[in-house]
Amino acid sequence: MPFLAPSILSADLVRLVEQIEIVEKNGADLIHVDVMDGHFVPNMTFGPAIVEALKKISKLPIDVHLMVSNPMQFVEWFAASGANYLTIHQEAYWHLDRAVNRIKALGCKAGISVNPATPVSAIRHLLNDLDLVLVMTVNPGFGGQKFIPYTLEKIRELDELRSRLQANFLIEVDGGIDELTAKSVLEAGADILVAGSAIFEKNSIAEAAHKLKSIILARGKEV
Ligand code: DX5
Ligand code: ZN
């Protein structure tokens, strides 16, 4: 069954406890944490301390997306802070097998993310070892950007490869997901939909999360 992962990048940090509770009650399955280092992407955000805090206020799995140039410097810290999923970028590290093995050895589910212009073939040989593939549907760095339509083809390609290889990874999509684009990515084969501004920047966070979750539960069909 597909899942909803609200991204706290767009949350109001002053009201984080309350906002997490609202999304939990309205269909969130995971909490997505965007870690940015000001180098791999032109923005800076959270460190392991926020994951530790989230673990105290929520029982949901924490899905950490590392948008950093030197991911292996940080995987231990994030694993120790309680991250359940740990995803690094294909573009950020040469030795991806080493990274995947290390993340799993630390007790986390291992994910690799690909930027919009990175082809699926760049991670083709890793697919049987991955728990998750994160397809960036915008160029990473900021919330509230417009969904890039050509990424749909990559989601379809991954879904086909998954059947062909009898692999078990989840397909996560991140960037520009709203009520409209949610339907397209679900039809293409996505399993986890990250949404930041489409939830936290709406007047009613509860309604926005609930509506997205109902689209997810209907798997892209009209609700
Ligand atoms: C973008 C981040 C996303 C971001 C998505 O670099 O990885 O997780 O929070 O934000 P929206 O849903 O607003 O596009
Ligand atoms: Zn993200």
Sheet holding 3-6, edge to edge: 3-6, 192-195, 170-174, 132-136, 109-114, 85-89, 62-67, 31-36
DSSP string covering 154-190, please?
Answer: HHHHHHHHHHHHT--PEEEEESS--HHHHHHHHHHT-
Active-site residue, 131 included: no
* Ligand 1 near 37 CB (within 6 A): no
Region 174-185: mean pLDDT is 98
Region 10-30: mean pLDDT is 98
For residue 108, give its domain range: 3-222
Atom of ligand 1 nearest to the CA of 175: 14
Region 205-211: mean pLDDT is 98
Confidence of residue 1 (pLDDT cuts 50, 70, 90): confident
Judge contact between 134 and 65, C-beta under 8 A.
yes
- pLDDT digits 0-9 by tens, 113-147: 999 999 999 999 999 999 999 999 999 999 999 99
Q: For position 83, which CATH number holds?
A: 3.20.20.70
Please tell me the residue having the least CA distance from ligand 1 atom 1: 140
- Quote the pLDDT of residue 220: 63
Residue 112 has pLDDT above 50, yes or no: yes
pTM: 0.97
Region 69-82: mean pLDDT is 98
**Which DSSP letter does residue 11 get?**
S
Residue 198 has pLDDT above 70, yes or no: yes
Region 168-186: mean pLDDT is 98
* Ligand 1 near 32 CB (within 6 A): yes
The one catalytic residue in 29, 63, 131, 174 is 174
Judge contact between 120 and 101, C-beta under 8 A.
no
Number of domains in the chain: 1
Atom of ligand 1 nearest to the CA of 141: 6
- Quote the pLDDT of residue 222: 58
Gyration radius of the chain's alpha carbons = 16
Region 159-182: mean pLDDT is 98
Residue 221 has pLDDT above 80, yes or no: no
* Ligand 1 mutation target, pool 30, 46, 197, most atoms within 8 A of CB: 197
In 3D, which of 127, 134, 37 has the Cα closest to residue 88?
134
- pLDDT digits 0-9 by tens, 90-106: 999 999 999 999 999 99
Q: Enter the tokens of residue 165.
A: 């290889």
Unique residue bearing structure tokens 């520009």: 176
Percentage of the chain modeled with pLDDT above 90: 97
Residue 223 has pLDDT above 80, yes or no: no
* Ligand 1 near 89 CB (within 6 A): no
Atom of ligand 1 nearest to the CA of 41: 6
- Quote the pLDDT of residue 219: 83
